[in-house]
Every structure is written in structure tokens, then in C-alpha cells.
């Protein structure tokens, strides 16, 4: 199972900018992000580009994530 790691601010709404490391699995992305991503691609007229692999790459890019073992 592939995993990604990235960092994000803890709670910027409450002025807590301390760094939090986030690790997500392939299954997390498939369950929590892929349905949203598919809808966005459809709304942009990119039905022919919908695949989980494309979503995985977009998730990595958007979150500045690195793949870990």
C-alpha cells in the first residue's frame, strides 16, 4: 500500500501555525478525496482524464507530498 507524507499548519484559524506531519494511505485518498476529485474533473469537462492514478498524482502535487514506504 502506498503512503504519502506532507506537512500543514495545525490550526491557522486560531493563529496556531505549528507544523503537523500528515501521513495518508492510498486507501485514505481513494475514500476521502477521489470522489470529490472525480466530480471536479467532470465539472471541468475532463471526464476522459479520470483515473485513480491521475488523482493520486494531483493529490501529491496539491499537498506537496512525498511518497514514503
Digit-by-digit pLDDT tens for the chain (69 residues) are 999 999 999 999 999 999 999 999 999 999 999 999 999 999 999 999 999 999 999 999 999 999 998
Number of domains in the chain: 1
Residue-number span of the structural domain to which 18 is assigned: 3-68
What distance in Å separates the CA atoms of residue 18 and residue 9, rounded to the nearest whole number?
A: 6
Q: How many CB atoms lie within 10 A of CB 42?
A: 11
pTM tops 0.85: yes
Do 24 and 1 contact (CB within 8 A), yes or no? no
Using CA atoms, how far residue 45 sits from 17, 33, 50, in Å, is 37, 19, 10
Amino acid at each position: 500500500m502506498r503512503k504519502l507524507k506532507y506537512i500543514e499548519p495545525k490550526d491557522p484559524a486560531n493563529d496556531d501555525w505549528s507544523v503537523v506531519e500528515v501521513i495518508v494511505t492510498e486507501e485514505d485518498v481513494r475514500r476521502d478525496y477521489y470522489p470529490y476529485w472525480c466530480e471536479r474533473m467532470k465539472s471541468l469537462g475532463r471526464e476522459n482524464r479520470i483515473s485513480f492514478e491521475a488523482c493520486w498524482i494531483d493529490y501529491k502535487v496539491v499537498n506537496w507530498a512525498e511518497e514514503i514506504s
